[in-house]
Structure 1
Amino acid sequence: MLTRRQFVSAVSAAGLASALPAQPARRPNVIIMMADDMGISDLGCYGSEIRTPNIDALASGGLRFTQFYNTARCCPTRASLLTGLYPHQAGIGHMMEDRKFPAYRGDLSAKAVTIAEVMRSGGYHTWMTGKWHVTPVNGSKHNWPRQRGFDKFFGTIHGAGSFYDPSTLSRDNDFIEPDSKDFYYTNAIGANASRYIEEAATTGKPFFGYVAFTSPHWPMHALEEDIDRYKTCYKDGWDALREERHRRMIELGIVDKRWPLTPRDPEVPAWKDAFNKEWEMRRMAVYAAMIDRMDQNIGRIVGALRKTNQFDNTLILMLADNGGCAEVLGPNATGRHIPDKTRDGRPVRRGNIPTIMPGRDDDYQSYGIGWANASNTPFRRYKHWVHEGGISTPLIAHWPGVIQNKGGLTPQPGHLIDLMATAADAAGAKYPGKFNGNTVTPLEGKSLRPILEGKQRKGHSEIYWEHEGNRAVRQGKWKAVSRHPGAWELYDMEADRTEMNDLTSAQPAKAAELAAKWESWSKKVGVVDWEVVRKS
């Protein structure tokens, strides 16, 4: 856990200063790194007690965004990140099922160009490690990474899976098996990213890399040496944790002290009344260990950049795909992502069973709504929903020589659709009007570079969301939001970002204006009523 003074000095403690001479000015490398199912308060530099020294060091030498947004769910976020479009425009308005509507095909649209295709066309070497999750696993490889602009790929095509034996593990265009007895997916993602960085250094080209970790998405799988650091960390429970994190977030400047901590989720008991406390503590300890191990591998990636003298000429962006996840895994859970047996033949015990302490290869659990509520401190709701808890993400940008406010914060809002524009801007690459014979949907995002340079960006007039009928629109300080199938709510994000004081009755004209804007946008991008989509 970091005080403001400790955070400011973290850059020295972590050894960010490179002993190698700076490279001559040239086009920068770009790396986007993304965590999976991680709340805004889960990193040390955003107020967490979880050990993340490598990420914190990037933040100390870079810039943290306090109002950056994702799309509330795995597939739509990845579609937006890759294309610079809203997910419906990329064909992934929901998940990987083909719902027959153009915005819900569950397969990355040919009318969308990927960030890798843009960067490769601009002369960049491209590579990816980790989770793809923008095309179904059905025998066709037309939308696998190698077919969508990446020169090299190691990772998984499917969305979730065991960290010891991940489903659909692939290299380039071929399925493969884990290559060692001690295989752990987070380590493999980091090792292959480091390898690709070293190989890229020999190409004579700048590179674009996309590192899509599956940590800390369920199942709760972590190495015992990492879990040991957190064995007693959560003995005081989720209520105390939320209060501690909120205090640190205020101290660090991540949130405004005027924004009250939201009440504990009504589905969550007070910690003093919770059952199975040892199991609950273990679940959160494993979750923390998963983030800890991800941070270690981010350190490994930074080490590869230093080793090849590329660190000072690389733009790094690090974020999460959605808020903390309150999904419950039952004992009858099934799917491609859940193996029947471990690699050595033992049965996998499925579901959140309190008599089974999670973390090993023969269990398959999630961390639960109480801890998800803490991950999303101080906000409301979770992954799936478009209240702030579901869509707010850390974004850490590190770019030596460009970012002026090192270790600073920016409250300027941004969205995933901006990452394509930012990478292309940094690279001098051109977003095309046509690609592979297809007319490409115009780019929705705007470059973040002015913000990185310490300027005031002319941002989006509005930013929009829709997922499973949950709707939202942000316009300046105003946000209208609806939890399906409920009515619109209206909040002043400057005074009340924790969404506690609904102003719909006090500001009916503004509420109506934003609702109308959302309806117009929904028609533009192809949103279909969720009840119709769900039944299709």
Structure 2
Amino acid sequence: MKTVHGLFLPMVATIAVLMGTANAAERPNIILIMSDDMGYSDIGCYGGEINTPNLDGLAANGLRYSQFYNSARCCPTRASLLTGLHPHQTGIGHMVEDKGFDGYRGDLNEHCLTIAEVLKPAGYSTYMSGKWHVTKQLFPEDESGKSNWPRQRGFERFYGTILGAGSLWDPTTLVRGNTHITPDNDPEYRPAEPWYYTDAISDNAVRYIREHPGNNPFFMYVAYTAAHWPMHARERDIVKYKGMYDDGFEPIRKARYEKLKELGLIQKECKRSPTIGNWDKVKDKAWEARNMEVYAAMVDAMDQGIGRIVAELKKQGELENTLILFLQDNGGCAEGGKWLGRGDGGQPRADKPTLPPMDRDELQMEMKNKKTRDGWPVRKGVGVMAGPPDTYISYGKEWANVSNTPFKEYKHYVHEGGISTPLIAHWPKGIKRKNRIEHQPGQIIDIMATCVDLSGARYPSEFKGHEITPMQGTSLVPTFDGGAIDRDTLYFEHEGNRAIRKGKWKLVAKGANGAWQLYDMDADRSEMNDLAKSNPERVLQLAKEWNDWAVRALVTPGPYDKEVKK
């Protein structure tokens, strides 16, 4: 059954009623797992050298999608994942601040529903552990200001952060249910070793599975902050990668490229975009290598947690009938500068805190990143070895270029390096194509349609008196048996970066005032050979289609309208 723009939803709803409670348990549990700021080739089963045996195991017994797309950045991708709409249609066309246009309000609007809100009436229990980042309501004065928190948007249980980034050792906006907490005042979770956010996300997800009553299916959203800056990890995980990156950027990129071709994830004819950065000119190679070692450790820790989730599903007898989907919110992150510890000025740690402790409601490291909650000055700059709680460092453009092998550009942009994500689908009872690669293009908006398709839920046209925007995606369920995705056009926009993909053709522009570029994705997915000048009519046709979509999807009117070349 296909679910395209709500076309078959009345039939799905009827089937759900006819199934009755006896067969409701046959519907699969659904777990969405999302990582943060990772590139296309980081995990092992997508070409990487990082140790990810649990994700690799899911891929070996499931499907990998080679051309799946996100929305280029944290907030827009999460809004699309949760709602099945383009981000602007949810009110989060940019990030979580109000830019004065309906598509850019910085909060989920009343015309969209989350997957939890849709599946809960169909009998699903709904749980979330991890990063929310789809509201500007960080520290509301009362309960009415939490209208876009997870509990108010369909999730029965929530543990995680409302804000999008910060220390993995002590994040601000940590919440259980509807209440702000800190790692040291949470009576429900007391780890045996120092608290670490990636582990906390995994452990609380495991707890939800263990405590699920078992007489109905569940939907769970697990949203990691690994491997978003700052580079924080346990030393025991970092040490696994000691020396692995000592030879610099090019050898790792080359090895990943060859493995991607060997795995069949890219065509053998696909060229590799240029390597950014000259290792011979790096002044502090040990520091630069350490940044990637910590990044790898962050991914490793996430994979360990996913392994614990899988183990608990197996223990509870739920693994066979659970659909697990793993994907990433954008490409590798090239953000840097002094603010993120990429400049000079590394300082040794002081013997004692030099600043007063922070009040809970200060946006400590997330906004100012000058000190830890307990008053330690945050150390940044070349020479400060990433990993510990008092450091705040990103891994930089050069390693992001490695993460995005073989593509160019990064998070923020809608060239392939910014929007290409692994997608792993594992469901022993429902996916018969084991260890196969699906090459049909898909998009983040397809996740809602897939969940509705499998759950027997009804996607409503109205909710609480508000008209609901129809789903924009297409169910991926047909691909589980080798069928087709019934759609040939994909659209993208973020910060004026824009693209349309129609069949094999992709029209893309970098920056709100950038010229359109045209690429043949079948022959040149790395976007090395711009065909715009030799195909002016195709450029005009695709540009018109993109502009028409931009009006429908609330991209325009918006903050970039005056600059975008029509």
For residues 263 and 146 of structure 1, what CA distance do their matches in structure 2 show? 45
Shift of 1:530: 4.1
Cα distance, 1:341 vs. partner?
3.4
Match of 2:309 among 292, 301, 307: 301
Q: Deviations over 1:182-203 (max 9, x none)?
A: 0000000000000001111x15
1:490 is aligned, of 518, 527, 533, to 518
For residues 39-61 of structure 1, the C-alpha deviation after alignment (integer angstroms, 9 at most, x for no partner) is: 01000000000000000000000
What secondary structure is seen at the aligned counterpart in 2 of 1:363?
A: coil
Give 1:199's aligned residue: 211
TM-score (norm 2): 0.87
C-alpha displacement of 1:302: 0.5
Between the aligned partners of 2:258 and 2:77, the Cα distance in structure 1 is 29
Q: How much has 1:24 moved relative to structure 2?
A: 11
Secondary structure of 2:34's match? strand
Q: Which residue does the alignment assign to 1:19?
A: none
Would the aligned equivalents of 1:99 and 1:533 in 2 still touch at CA under 8 Å?
Answer: no
What is the letter of the counterpart of residue 203 of structure 2? Answer: A
Do 2:230 and 2:340's aligned partners in 1 also have CA atoms closer than 8 Å?
no
8 Å CA contact 2:290, 2:385 repeated in 1: yes
Question: CA offset at residue 532 of structure 1?
Answer: 5.9
Q: CA deviation at 1:335?
A: 6.1
In structure 2, the CA distance between the partners of 1:96 and 1:335, relative to structure 1 (3 Å rule), is farther
Q: Is the partner of 1:384 in helix, strand or coil?
A: coil
Conserved 8 A contact 1:162-1:337: no
Q: Tell me which residue corresponds to 2:474.
A: 446
Deviation at 1:104, TM superposition (A): 0.2
Alignment check: 8 A CA contact 1:155 1:171 kept: yes
Give 1:476's aligned residue.
503
Contact 2:34–2:222 (CA<8 Å) still a contact in 1? yes
Unaligned runs of 5+ in 2: 1-22, 185-189, 342-363
The equivalent of 2:553 in structure 1 is 525
Paired residue secondary structure (1:65): strand
Q: Once structures 1 and 2 are overlaid, which stretch shifts more, 148-157 or 180-189?
A: 180-189
The one of 371, 391, 395 equivalent to 1:341 is: 371
Residues 112-151 of structure 1: per-residue CA shift (max 9 Å, x gap) = 0110000101110000000000001141211000000000
**1:347: Cα distance to partner?**
1.7
Query: Separation in 2 of the partners of 1:274 and 1:198?
Result: 49
Secondary structure in 1 matching 2:175: strand
Query: Is the Cα contact below 8 Å between 1:327 and 1:368 reproduced in 2?
Result: yes
> Residue in 1 aligned with 2:201?
189
* Number of aligned positions between the proteins: 505
Query: Does 2:535 correspond to 1:507?
Result: yes
1:72 and 1:499 map into 2 onto residues whose CA distance is 16
Measured against aligned partners, the alpha-carbon deviations of 1:274-299 in whole angstroms (never above 9, x if no partner) come to: 22100000000000000000000000
Give the Cα–Cα distance (whole angstroms) in 2 for the partners of residues 88 and 289 of structure 1.
34
SS at match of 2:146: coil
How far apart are residue 506 of structure 1 and its match? 1.6
Matched with 1:238 is 249
Distance 1:328 1:533, change over 3 A: farther
Q: Report what 2:351 is aligned to.
A: none
Shift of 1:348: 1.6
1:222 is aligned with what amino acid?
A
Cα displacement (A) at 1:205: 1.4
Cα deviation, 1:355-405, whole Å, max 9, x if unaligned, reads 201100000010000000000000010000000000000000001122121
Hey, what does 1:81 align to over in structure 2? 81
Q: Residues 132-531 of structure 1 correspond to what in structure 2 (within 5 A)?
A: 132-136=132-136, 137-139=138-140, 140-179=145-184, 180=190, 182-200=194-212, 202-265=213-276, 268=277, 270-331=278-339, 336-349=366-379, 351=380, 353-458=381-486, 460-484=487-511, 485-528=513-556, 529-531=558-560
8 A Cα contact 2:365 2:371, kept in partner: no
- Structure 1 stretch displaced more, 215-224 or 133-142: 133-142
2:359 equivalent in structure 1: none
Q: Output the TM-score relative to the length of structure 1.
A: 0.92
The residue that corresponds to 1:4 in the other structure is none
Residue of structure 2 in register with 1:6 after alignment: none
RMSD: 1.7
Helix, strand or coil at the partner of 2:437: strand
Q: Which runs of 5+ in 1 are unaligned?
A: 1-22
Q: Which amino acid aligns with 1:158?
A: L
